[in-house]
Structure 1
Amino acid sequence: MTLYSKIIGTGSYLPPKRVTNQELAVQLAEKGIETSDEWIVSRSGISARHYADPAVQSSDLAVEAAKRALEAAHLTPGDIDLIIVATSTPDHFGGFPSTACVVQRKLGIKNGGAAFDVQAVCSGFVYAVSVADSFIKSGAHKNVLVIGAEVFSRILNFDDRTTCVLFGDGAGAIVMSGSSEPGILATKLHADGSHGDILCVPGSVTGGVIEGSAFLYMDGQAVFKLAVSVLEKVANEALEAGGLQSSQIDWLVPHQANIRIMQGTAKKLGLPQEKMVVTVDQHGNTSAASIPLALDTAVREGRIKPGHNVMMEGVGGGFTWGAVLARM
């Protein structure tokens, strides 16, 4: 019997503190930085974002999303034998112990299953799903918890209005399990390190001291041009690998970064806007968390149903990009 992997549960979590564009504009004005709701919405489609409290880490958001995904999948934490967390904002400096191991501990999982992090920034979730798919199809793991979790507010420069208004905190999770029916139909991953400088945190650490900047830097125009170009191509690659036409996509769930990029991708794929899941207006760019957040929202609202063909795709620093074609 051929073994496939399938998404059997979704979950998400946003920290309670919600900051609207108007509220953020007032806060920035106190620092002498001018912006407005109209300026932010017209350039990104974002109306609000959520910020985690100082004591809250990525693992805390991840655990809440994971609990909801496990409940939806009708599984217990002990059923999970692999945890993959996609994050660019791990709990610990240097990334160890991994946020995945922290999540494993906080969920009370003591079965010796594997746990590790994936770092591909905003493409991290599709990278993690692809890895989980391979592990499940190989028979190495049965039930995999895949999480995207970020506290991007920690690396934002609030003196730079071109970036600080765009990002937020949150987490999304899915449970993937072995199945006799096709679930993940295809995955395609890419990277081009020559574009690493257009979206990055350029600082480094020597002797315990940060050298350079520890804040996110983005060349918005360069990222926009590259994103629009690669997203259409990788989506078509996934469709070809999965044996489907774009007309067979029931839902497009893109990385929630910029509404203009998202609309451009849907148009190039010949998909009507009503087939695209949009949540960026409510939580901004949550990096690796954005796709599973949007996926869970659409599932819980009853839009994405069992049997639907869903295209998930994202781009991120590195420069990385990828797509996952799934049948729910």
Structure 2
Amino acid sequence: MGAILKAIEYVYPKQKITNHDLSVQFPDYDFSKFEEKVGIKNRYWVQEHETAFDLAKEACNKLFKKIDKEDVDYILYCTQSPEYFLPTTACILQNHLGLKNNIGALDFNLGCSGFAYGISLAKGLINSGQAKNVLLVTAETYSKYLHPNDRSNRAIFGDAAAATLITFSEEENIGEFLFGTDGSGFDKLIVKNGCSRFPYNTQAEEIIYGTENVYTDNHLYMNGPEVFDFTNTVIPNFTKEIVNKNNISISEVQQFVFHQANSFMLNFMRKRLKIDSNSFFIDMEDGGNTVSCTIPIALKKYSQKGCESENIIVVGFGVGLSWAGGLIKINSKL
């Protein structure tokens, strides 16, 4: 008895923001150098009236063109862009998708590690006999948290949603997963105001950080250098631990699919792990960093090339500070 990752679909919002668009707003910054180093050319942002939930519905309905929605018996909804403080967005999604009532539905609040967590949670539900077909939805609209004059984060983050079906299988195609947490770094990537500890402040002071980037405590703040240091200190060794946990060698892994944070960071880790570029997926030119959606989008793109019983290591890392990863096998196009 086991579980298999059966299908993935994803969507971007219709509003496309190019590096040229950003260069008009920030004429003193060389976006050609940014594109070459970070690997992002376009990102997509929702309109003011659109939410992550809207993208989630669209991604799920796209998935239902391939699979029968009547089979879904559990929803795992990963987001840091919920519709409300309460109720649970997954419950609203169940209704809007017209799914049956005798299913489980829950939200979990994780960012860049969320998809890896979700795969492991779905595997646990299936292997324990609590579900047979888990709909894992990741949906984020970080664009709503960005200060208009925060050039750095506006260049990096995009919005998206992905819908993934993880289902019962006679064979186990989802291997062992590992996790990590360092809550002492919670403030390295944060939207400080607007929840219980600090209310939204209409008089919030503008703060300059980095190279003339601007934010307030109502907006997303990321300490890029410290997040980079955390990633490159923790993730290479963590990846080796995942490989060892699954009793294989790095040479037996056909593809490493990491959270698509930025190309410079990914290549830095790839070289530390001594992985050939052909076995290390990087494709974020169109879409940018979509947080919990980057790995399912990357898996979908990679699977279109054709996969035959391939071992793939997925690793997510970021806000929290949180990291997670494990082994999956892909047998066909998702």
Alpha-carbon distance in structure 2 between the residues aligned to 1:231 and 1:69 = 31
Check whether the contact 2:192–2:198 (CA below 8 A) recurs between aligned residues: no
Q: In the alignment, which residue of structure 2 is the partner of 1:12? A: 10
**Mapping of residues 176-191 of structure 1, within 5 Å:** 176-191=166-181
Counterpart secondary structure, 1:327: strand
Counterpart secondary structure, 2:156: coil
- 1:158-180: CA deviation from partner (whole Å, max 9, x where unpaired): 21212221101011221101111
Q: Which moved more, 1:9-18 or 1:210-219?
A: 210-219
- 1:113-148: CA deviation from partner (whole Å, max 9, x where unpaired): 111111121111111111111111111110001121
Q: What's the CA shift for 1:209?
A: 4.3
- 1:80-108: CA deviation from partner (whole Å, max 9, x where unpaired): 1111111111122x2x2222222222211
Check whether the contact 1:186–1:239 (CA below 8 A) recurs between aligned residues: no
**Mapping of residues 61-100 of structure 1, within 5 Å:** 61-72=55-66, 75-92=67-84, 94=85, 96-100=86-90
TM-score calculated relative to the size of structure 2: 0.89
**Mapping of residues 188-267 of structure 1, within 5 Å:** 188-205=178-195, 209-211=199-201, 213-267=217-271
Q: In the alignment, which residue of structure 2 is the partner of 1:277? A: 281
In structure 1, give the amino acid aligned to 2:318. G
Runs of 5+ consecutive residues of structure 2 not aligned to the other structure: 205-216
**Mapping of residues 302-317 of structure 1, within 5 Å:** 302-303=305-306, 305-317=307-319
Q: What's the CA shift for 1:259?
A: 0.6
Of 35, 38, 48, 1:41 maps to 35
Alpha-carbon distance in structure 2 between the residues aligned to 1:207 and 1:44 = 34
Q: In the alignment, which residue of structure 2 is the partner of 1:118? A: 108
Q: In the alignment, which residue of structure 1 is the partner of 2:45? A: 51
In structure 1, give the amino acid aligned to 2:276. P
Check whether the contact 1:150–1:169 (CA below 8 A) recurs between aligned residues: yes
Alpha-carbon distance in structure 1 between the residues aligned to 2:119 and 2:238 = 15
Distance of aligned partners of 1:207 and 1:41 in 2 relative to their CA distance in 1, 3 Å threshold: closer
- 1:39-85: CA deviation from partner (whole Å, max 9, x where unpaired): 4224421111011122221122112222333444xx31121111111
Q: In the alignment, which residue of structure 2 is the partner of 1:21? A: 19
Q: In the alignment, which residue of structure 1 is the partner of 2:210? A: none
Alpha-carbon distance in structure 1 between the residues aligned to 2:324 and 2:47 = 31
TM-score calculated relative to the size of structure 1: 0.91
Distance of aligned partners of 1:306 and 1:149 in 2 relative to their CA distance in 1, 3 Å threshold: farther
Runs of 5+ consecutive residues of structure 1 not aligned to the other structure: none
Q: Which structure: greater helix fraction?
A: 1
Alpha-carbon distance in structure 2 between the residues aligned to 1:240 and 1:69 = 34
Check whether the contact 2:17–2:44 (CA below 8 A) recurs between aligned residues: yes
When the two chains are superposed, the root-mean-square deviation of aligned CA atoms in Å is 1.9
Q: Which moved more, 1:266-275 or 1:249-258?
A: 266-275
Check whether the contact 1:9–1:70 (CA below 8 A) recurs between aligned residues: no
Check whether the contact 2:182–2:320 (CA below 8 A) recurs between aligned residues: yes
Check whether the contact 1:11–1:67 (CA below 8 A) recurs between aligned residues: no
In structure 2, give the amino acid aligned to 1:142. K
Alpha-carbon distance in structure 1 between the residues aligned to 2:75 and 2:118 = 10
Alpha-carbon distance in structure 2 between the residues aligned to 1:319 and 1:173 = 24
Report the number of matched residues: 316
Alpha-carbon distance in structure 1 between the residues aligned to 2:74 and 2:165 = 10
Q: In the alignment, which residue of structure 1 is the partner of 2:212? A: none
Q: In the alignment, which residue of structure 2 is the partner of 1:298? A: 302
Counterpart secondary structure, 2:125: helix
Check whether the contact 1:122–1:315 (CA below 8 A) recurs between aligned residues: yes
Check whether the contact 2:193–2:199 (CA below 8 A) recurs between aligned residues: no
Q: What's the CA shift for 1:207?
A: 10
Q: What's the CA shift for 1:293?
A: 1.1
Of 54, 66, 72, 1:60 maps to 54
Alpha-carbon distance in structure 1 between the residues aligned to 2:93 and 2:153 = 29
Q: Which moved more, 1:196-205 or 1:287-296?
A: 196-205
Q: Which moved more, 1:63-72 or 1:177-186?
A: 63-72
Q: What's the CA shift for 1:287?
A: 0.5
Counterpart secondary structure, 2:305: coil
Alpha-carbon distance in structure 2 between the residues aligned to 1:291 and 1:81 = 23
Q: What's the CA shift for 1:236?
A: 1.6
Counterpart secondary structure, 1:174: strand
Distance of aligned partners of 1:237 and 1:194 in 2 relative to their CA distance in 1, 3 Å threshold: same
Q: What's the CA shift for 1:109?
A: 0.6
